[in-house]
């Protein structure tokens, strides 16, 4: 049986230890199940976050944060250190505005997919921490020619191109029966050039 490791009130979801099949459940089995459930809920918050980002839905994204939630974006410089990109964004209204107004608009045959992997979740009572890798893909569908697709054309038509990579680092607070992000750090592995003026 593989069970998440629990030590000093911290559950590392996705990290396991082996128990012999002849042993009963460990004394902390109920706490482990509770932390597994909390870890799954925390991961769902990140899944909702990336979908809201993909769809430029500022209202849905900002609802995932505490009222005074904050977002910091940084990118690596030539020395490999992260440096801030823009200023900290604080509060749901400012965050919603940043998502809907600062990000490039999509539509038609264009979309983005922020794909996350390898989540590490720690639960500390009413606080949680989540760190996950991300890749962002730009998707540009090809329009069907007015005279139709050429003979022999099959499958999806267009281009999928990765253009961002890094880590999402979230601190979350328990809110009722769920979780909300109190601090989101977006750590880009590539330098970012901002528009001038």
pLDDT at position 4 is: 38
Under the banding of pLDDT at 50, 70 and 90, the label for residue 34 is low
Average pLDDT over residues 33-53: 87
Output 57 or 27, whichever has higher pLDDT: 57
Buried-state track 121-153, b at ≥16 Cβ within 10 A, e below 16: bbbeeeebbbbbbbebbbbeeeeeeeeeeeeee
Structural domains of the chain, ranges and CATH numbers in brackets: 2-188 (3.10.450.50)
Residues 6+ apart with CB under 8 A from 186: 71, 72, 73, 74, 166, 167, 168, 169
pLDDT at position 64 is: 97
Q: Can you list the alpha helix ranges (DSSP code H) found in 90-156? A: 92-97
How many helices and strands in the chain, by DSSP H and E?
Answer: 3, 9
What's CA 156's distance to the chain center, in Å? Answer: 27
> Whole-prediction pTM value?
0.78
């Amino acid at each position: 049986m593989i069970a998440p490791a629990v030590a000093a009130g911290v559950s590392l979801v996705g990290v396991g230890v082996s128990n012999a099949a002849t042993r009963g459940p460990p004394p902390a089995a109920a706490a482990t199940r509770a932390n597994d459930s909390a870890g799954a809920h925390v991961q769902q918050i990140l899944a909702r976050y990336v979908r809201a980002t993909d769809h430029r839905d500022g209202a849905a994204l900002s609802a995932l944060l505490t009222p005074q939630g904050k977002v910091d974006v940084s990118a690596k410089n030539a020395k490999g250190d992260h440096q801030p990109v823009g200023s900290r964004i604080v509060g749901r209204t400012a965050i919603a505005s940043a998502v809907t107004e600062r990000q490039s608009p999509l539509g038609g045959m264009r979309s983005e997919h922020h794909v996350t992997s390898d989540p590490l979740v720690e639960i500390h009572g009413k606080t949680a921490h989540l760190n996950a890798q991300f890749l962002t893909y730009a998707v540009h569908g090809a329009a069907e020619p007015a005279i139709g697709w050429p003979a022999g054309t099959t499958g999806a038509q267009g281009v999928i191109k990765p253009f961002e990579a890094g880590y999402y680092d979230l601190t979350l607070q328990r809110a009722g029966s769920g979780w909300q992000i109190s601090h989101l750090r977006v750590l880009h592995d590539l330098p970012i050039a901002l528009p001038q003026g």
